[in-house]
Amino acid sequence: AGRSSPQDANPTLMCAGFITSAEFREGERRWHRQNHGEDLSEEETEERLRAWLRFRDLDGDQQVSWYEFANAKAMIMLESSGKMAACLTEEEVEQARAVFREIDIDESNTICETEVRAYYQKRYAQEVALTLRSPVRALQLVDDSVKRMFMSHDASGDGLIDFDEFLAEEAKNLVMDRRRAAAVREKLCDTG
């Protein structure tokens, strides 16, 4: 028997044409238990839900429609074929380049851990100054953000991120942000 999908664990989860947050949690827990023989922690479930909604819930209504799901699958296909960056507009590439340059303090055309750490320290210090985060939480977020950046962006694993690696990963966020904005505009037009 091969691996199953979360929806295979309970096929009725898709009946309404939407997958709600509660349905996703239940389906993900069942799928994990069925495929790994152990329960998924609440923290891991919530982390998976956040990722699920971030990349699939285009209109922000905390549920994923068939349209949103199909679009997310198309994005995965683009990403896996290495073609996501080709979907970016010139403006989006320049936005990514500006962020890359901001992080690349020594202008070496690569970013290292020290530069990424300095970038996130500055970013989270601003949030602390605005009392949006506690200093302790900001320190935790710096460490987590640096780790995530290198796990996701350093495709070569050499401890440096060049612009192509950076753009390949950022393309996902830029395209999803564009799609999310379009979905919100569409929803506003439908209700207005």
Q: What is the pLDDT along the chain (192 residues), one digit of tens a residue?
A: 444 444 454 554 444 588 888 988 998 899 889 988 999 888 888 888 887 887 788 777 888 888 778 777 777 778 778 788 888 999 999 999 999 999 999 999 999 999 999 999 999 999 999 999 899 999 999 999 999 999 989 999 999 999 999 999 898 888 878 877 777 777 777 665
Cβ-contact 89, 96 below 8 angstroms = no
b/e map 121-131, b = 16+ CB within 10 Å: beebeeeeeee
Taking the C-alpha atoms of residue 5 and residue 30, their distance in angstroms, rounded to an integer, is 10
pTM over 0.75: no
The closest alpha carbon to 97, from 159, 162, 152, 156, belongs to 162
